[in-house]
Amino acid sequence: MKRILLLVALLMAGIITYTFACSQGDEKNKPEKGVVIQMNGDLFLKDVADYNNIKEWKFKGDKPVVIDFYADWCGPCRQVAPLMKELAKEYEDKIIIYRVNVDNEKELATALGIQSLPTILFIPRKGEPQAIIGAASKDTFKQAIEEVLLKKPAK
């Protein structure tokens, strides 16, 4: 009888652990709010657009996107990174901010024509992406988010 109870207890513990692990996996598939998400080519294809067919741009996401193309060795990129973190928190319910290391994602960077760093790409739900090339102020990035992504008129 003790063996049966032990077996049932172990089985229940396994089911609970499995259920918890599966629910955690579901959360990983959703973009995080208020943080900058590291992006690779596969994630771009899944959540943004098919970069292999950039001539017929079709955005796949639910929220507008900002993508920070950077490299670890780039000084201006290091200046922009904390600004992107602040903006991700400020606009957490309105946009998603990604970052792409061009040294690791050469195919994606080449397909999108990234030639200078940092390049910040603003992708609205409808319409064509726009870019800011080089480091800029937080106010400049906020203005681009408001006007390009959230379609609020300039002040």
Per-residue pLDDT of the chain (155 residues; tens, 9 = 90+): 544 544 334 444 444 444 444 444 444 455 567 899 999 999 999 999 988 876 777 889 999 999 999 999 999 999 999 999 999 999 999 999 999 999 999 999 999 999 999 999 999 999 889 999 999 999 999 999 999 999 877 66
* Topology, domain 36-149: Glutaredoxin (3.40.30)
pLDDT at residue 56, rounded to an integer: 76
CA separation, residue 3 to residues 7, 9, 10, 14, 90 (Å): 6, 10, 10, 16, 56
Q: What is the pTM of this model?
A: 0.78
| DSSP percent split of the chain into helix, strand, coil, nearest 5 | 45, 15, 40
Neighbours of 75 (CB within 10 A): 10
Any idea which residue has 């009888």 for tokens? 1
Q: Catalytic site residues?
A: 74, 77
69: exposed, middle or buried (Cβ count in 10 Å: 0-12, 13-18, 19+): buried
Distance CA(149)–CA(9), nearest Å, equals 53
The span from the CA of 89 to the CA of 66, in Å, is: 13
Euclidean distance between CA atoms 134 and 130, whole angstroms: 13
CB 122 within 8 A of CB 145: yes
Q: Which amino acid is at 44?
A: F
Give the tokens for residue 47. Answer: 């959540």
